[in-house]
Amino acid sequence: MAHAHPAQRKQGQANFGNPKAAQYAHRQDRARIEHVFAGLAEMGCKSLRMIGMARATEQLNWKVAPYNLRRLIYLKEAKVEAF
C-alpha cells in the first residue's frame, strides 16, 4: 500500500515509511486538540449530560461557541491574519 492514493490510505498510514514524521504529526494534532479541551475545561465545560448523539452534539456546539468567540477576540487583538 506504499503507492496508494492518499484518499485510499487507512487512517494512521499517512507517514507509513517515516515513523519519526508520523510521531511528529501525531504530537502536533494531539497538542492542538488538548489545547481546545483545556480551554473548555477552564471555562467549566468538562462534561456532557445528554443522552443521544444529536443532543450531545448540540450541547457540545453550545459549549464550544463561547470558546471560539474568546479565541476570535484574542486573534483579532493580536492582529493575526487568517490567510
Greatest Cα pair distance in the chain: 46
Containing domain of residue 12, as a range? 1-46
Give the global pTM. Answer: 0.53
Same-domain pairing of 37 and 54:
no
Same-domain pairing of 9 and 40:
yes
pLDDT score recorded for residue 15: 55
Same-domain pairing of 6 and 41:
yes
pLDDT score recorded for residue 13: 55
Angle between helix 53-77 and 19-42 (nearest 10)? 90
What is the band of 1 on the pLDDT scale with cuts at 50, 70, 90? very low
Locate 64 and state its grid cell: 464550544
Q: Output the CA–CA distances (angstroms, integers) from residue 30 to 58, 79, 81, in the order listed.
A: 24, 26, 24
User: ∠ CA(24), CA(30), CA(34), 5° rounding?
Assistant: 150
Locate 5 and state its grid cell: 492514493
The secondary element (H helix, E strand) that includes residue 60 is helix 53-77
Q: How far apart are CA 47 and CA 22, in angstroms?
A: 31
Total domain count, the chain: 2
Same-domain pairing of 25 and 41:
yes
pLDDT tens sequence across 29-68: 777 778 778 887 887 777 777 788 888 888 888 888 888 8
